[in-house]
Structure 1
Amino acid sequence: MSKIIAVMANDVEDIEFTSPAKALTDAGNEVTLVGANANEKLVGKHGTEFTTEKGIDDINADDYDALLIPGGFSPDNLRADERFVELAKKFMLNDKAIFSICHGPQLLMQTGLVKGRTLTSYKTVQTDLYYAGGIVKDEPVVIDRHLITSRTPDDLDAFNKAIVNELQ
């Protein structure tokens, strides 16, 4: 069993959290929803309500095997908080598993560590990734070592399969 941190703020693309989290837990993994604060109510773009289990200051990245970054407007909100940037940076520097979909790579760009990495994202973020030095592919799933990225909810089946396989 692997332990995964899912980082989220308001306006997440609901299914980009619920679908991967279900796939991961169905495969026997543990997903912990982390926000700015523990027991915080968050609302997705489509009205789904979520409650964070832990706050960013309550976790130690070393205790987790993977980082899940769902899309929507959540990653843009998260990258304004240096604590989430530092968490993503730690996962990238330690070459730990990162699962990022849609606008999720916005948080990764903020680390300054996407240069030379191969990844994808929602189409409007792809140009930003390119200018940040990333090697951008317009494919349903892109795997660069332990960094797995995807574009949209339409790619969730392939994304979920890839992230579950990564942890097996």
Structure 2
Amino acid sequence: MSRIAVLITDMFEDVEYTQPAEAFRKAGHELVHVGLSAGETVHGKKEQTPVAIDRSASDVSVDGFDALFIPGGYSPDKLRAHDAPVEFVRQFVKSGKPVLAICHAPQLLITAQVLEGRKITGWKSVAQDIKNAGAEYINREVVVDGNLVSSRKPDDIPAFIEASLEKLRETGGEKAKVAAAEQR
């Protein structure tokens, strides 16, 4: 199964984290919460869902993971103001490994400058930003373009989960298990 980095900080959209995270765990995937500071607890914007940060974005490498999951809400906007999460996202997209992005998550991809020529969806208010970054904005519940899986909003979560799990099945995950064991 895959080892998934969850890039998250305060004010994430609770259901855009909790529902996919539950589905990923149920399918046997391991989640590692990556944020600004290891050991801190961040909270969702509506339900105040607590999430403990396992690793700092400045202390992780793409090599240790099989996929990247970015929940929406205000979290992506807060994260893109910091170099380490932006660089982590840039390297992840370039690696070809799955990047699972919902709602406002494209804000991080825009700042990482990795959307040129790609197809993606996201929350309506970031559609123009996506286009300005050189990507084609597609207003659909889920868009898969190579290693990018994206959705627009909480209503799209079932389709997002289905497409994300399919992408994870396609790509496997044994490489990250070996890398993770070597890091421990």
Q: Do Structure 1 and Structure 2 share a fold, with TM-score over 0.5?
A: yes
1:2 is matched with which residue? 2
Q: What pairs up with 1:59-78 in 2 under 5 angstroms?
A: 59-78=60-79
Percent of pairs identical after alignment?
40
Matched position secondary structure for 1:89: helix
TM-score by length of 2: 0.89
Structure 2 distance, partners of 1:91, 1:61, is 6
Q: What pairs up with 1:140-155 in 2 under 5 angstroms?
A: 140-155=141-156
Cα shift readout 1:124-160 (whole Å, capped 9, x = no counterpart)? 0111101111111000000001100000010000000
Between stretches 151-160 and 54-63, larger displacement belongs to 54-63
Q: What pairs up with 1:14-163 in 2 under 5 angstroms?
A: 14-46=14-46, 47-163=48-164
Structure 1 distance, partners of 2:63, 2:34, is 15
Cα shift readout 1:41-82 (whole Å, capped 9, x = no counterpart)? 111111222211222233221110100010000000000111
Structure 2 distance, partners of 1:167, 1:43, is 26
TM-score by length of 1: 0.97
Matched position secondary structure for 2:90: helix
Unmatched segments (≥5 aa) in structure 2: 170-184
Matched position secondary structure for 2:129: helix
Matched position secondary structure for 2:21: helix
2:178 is matched with which residue? none
Runs of 4+ residues over 4 Å off in structure 1: none
Q: Please say if residues 142 and 159 of structure 2, whose CA atoms lie closer than 8 Å, have aligned partners that are also in contact.
A: yes
More helix by share: 2
Q: Please say if residues 118 and 145 of structure 2, whose CA atoms lie closer than 8 Å, have aligned partners that are also in contact.
A: yes
Question: RMSD over aligned Cα, in angstroms?
Answer: 0.8
Unmatched segments (≥5 aa) in structure 1: none
| Residue identity opposite 1:103 in structure 2 | H
